[in-house]
């Protein structure tokens, strides 16, 4: 029987499993020495920038929004094509996510679209590095500097990506990463925040642990209302091992993505994602399928792929079409490119355990599904 090919799968080796076992046997399994080591190694990876880790990227974004002083009446500019968490954290802080459209091929927004959405209430900009392809950051930061705005980079897809020769996270203002199991590296669940201003570290640590400040003599004070999102040593041990392999992971992802681009080029009804540049981390490979032109639906296309043993995802639907965002006044037709992407996107398998022959099989399945649809 032909093996099923999932669209994502983490790579966990025996050494990592042994490291987790060692942590479990140590008796110290919550935040402790492994978290400190993981943060130190992440900081080194980002060229010495301070880093703090969290239970997930959403928590890192929530803390970033708090550090940017976003509150009721404030606006944060967010791409309409991203995972809902990017905008949700703004709304949860009492602010308004102001959506902007994206480029059809890169799936990223740009400084021109952002500038057109700025109002006197804008507090911050949140560029999203979609699928691991960095946003053109220089004009975004120049705009932010002119207008006195914070920049919160949603780099959930971009661990290991680079912009103009420097790693995402080694530059910029506040940069949030995800270590979910389908990301380029994992801690099972987890995230991180890279800081330009070391003066914000103490508050970030409070915000990930109930707003508590420890006092001399073992006492404490609660300085502000906050939740709990400190990473465990178990997860950190996995992260340490994954970080050591990240460059190999990303090199393999890039090689697989280039193979997809070569094999799927010219297929009728298929629009491939932007190839980008050497700094692309290739978290996702998500072509657009013109289902209307092929006289089919995404559901039937995915069913045809599943019937051939191929896992397919959907990344993502346009935010303005979700009920929670319609209640904010957004409507169909507001963001044509994001809506086109949301209606046509399919996510093909891309992970380090994918073999070259698996890519060949996926590509043949895509071509067969397209032929079947015509």
Residue 61 in 3-state DSSP? helix
Pairwise CA distance, residues 73 & 327, whole Å: 16
Residue 146 class from Cβ within 10 Å (0-12 exposed, 13-18 middle, 19+ buried)?
A: exposed
Residue 152 in 3-state DSSP? strand
**Exposure pattern of 29-53 as b/e (b: 16+ CB <10 Å)?**
bebeebbeebbebbbebbeebbbbb
User: For residue 10, what are the CA distances in angstroms to 184, 186, 311, 351?
Assistant: 8, 7, 15, 7
Closest of 137, 133, 138, 86 to residue 105, by C-alpha: 133
Residue 57 class from Cβ within 10 Å (0-12 exposed, 13-18 middle, 19+ buried)?
A: buried
Helical residues (DSSP H) of 216-297, grouped into ranges: 233-264
Joined together, the tokens standing for residue 308 give: 């051939």
* Contact in structure between 345 and 81 (CB atoms under 8 Å): no
Note if 374 is an active site residue: no
Angle (CA) 171 174 175, round 5°? 70
Catalytic residue among 183, 228, 367, 374: 183
DSSP state letter for 30: S
Joined together, the tokens standing for residue 41 give: 């190694």
Question: Long-range contacts for 91-99 (Cβ within 8 Å, ≥24 apart)?
Answer: 91/324, 91/328, 92/62, 93/62, 93/65, 93/66, 94/70, 95/65, 95/70, 95/71, 95/123, 96/121, 96/328, 97/319, 97/325, 97/328, 98/122, 99/319, 99/320, 99/325, 99/330, 99/334, 99/335, 99/338
So which residues are the catalytic ones? Answer: 183
């Amino acid at each position: 029987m032909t093996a099923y090919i999932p669209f994502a799968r983490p790579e966990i080796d025996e050494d990592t499993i042994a490291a987790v076992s060692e942590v479990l046997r140590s008796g110290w399994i919550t935040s402790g020495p492994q978290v400190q080591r993981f943060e130190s190694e992440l900081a080194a990876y980002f060229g010495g920038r301070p880093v703090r880790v969290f239970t997930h990227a959403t928590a890192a974004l929530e803390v970033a929004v708090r550090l940017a002083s976003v509150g009721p009446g404030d606006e944060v500019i967010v791409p309409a094509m991203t995972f809902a968490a990017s905008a949700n954290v703004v709304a949860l802080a009492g602010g308004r996510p102001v959506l902007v459209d994206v480029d059809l091929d890169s799936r990223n927004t740009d400084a021109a679209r952002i500038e057109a959405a700025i109002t006197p209430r804008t507090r911050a900009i949140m560029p999203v590095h979609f699928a691991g392809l960095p946003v053109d950051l220089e004009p975004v930061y120049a705009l932010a500097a002119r207008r006195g705005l914070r920049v919160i980079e949603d780099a959930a897809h971009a661990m290991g990506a680079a912009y103009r020769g420097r790693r995402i996270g080694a530059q910029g203002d506040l940069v949030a990463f995800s270590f979910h199991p389908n990301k380029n590296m994992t801690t099972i669940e987890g995230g991180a925040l890279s800081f330009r201003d070391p003066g914000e570290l103490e508050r970030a640590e409070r915000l990930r642990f109930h707003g508590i400040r420890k006092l001399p003599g073992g006492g404490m004070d609660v300085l502000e209302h906050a939740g709990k999102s400190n990473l465990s040593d178990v997860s950190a041990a996995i992260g340490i091992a994954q970080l050591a392999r990240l460059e190999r992971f990303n090199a393999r992802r890039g090689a697989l993505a280039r193979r997809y681009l070569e094999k799927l080029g010219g297929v009728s009804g298929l629009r491939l994602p932007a190839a980008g540049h050497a700094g692309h981390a290739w978290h996702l490979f998500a072509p657009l399928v013109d289902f209307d032109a092929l006289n089919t639906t995404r559901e039937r296309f995915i069913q045809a792929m599943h019937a051939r043993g191929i896992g397919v995802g959907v990344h993502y639907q346009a935010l303005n079409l979700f009920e929670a965002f319609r209640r904010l006044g957004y409507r169909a037709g507001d963001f044509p490119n994001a809506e086109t992407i949301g209606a046509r996107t399919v996510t093909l398998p891309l992970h380090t355990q994918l073999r070259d022959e698996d890519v060949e099989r996926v590509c043949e399945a895509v071509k067969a599904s397209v032929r079947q649809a015509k």
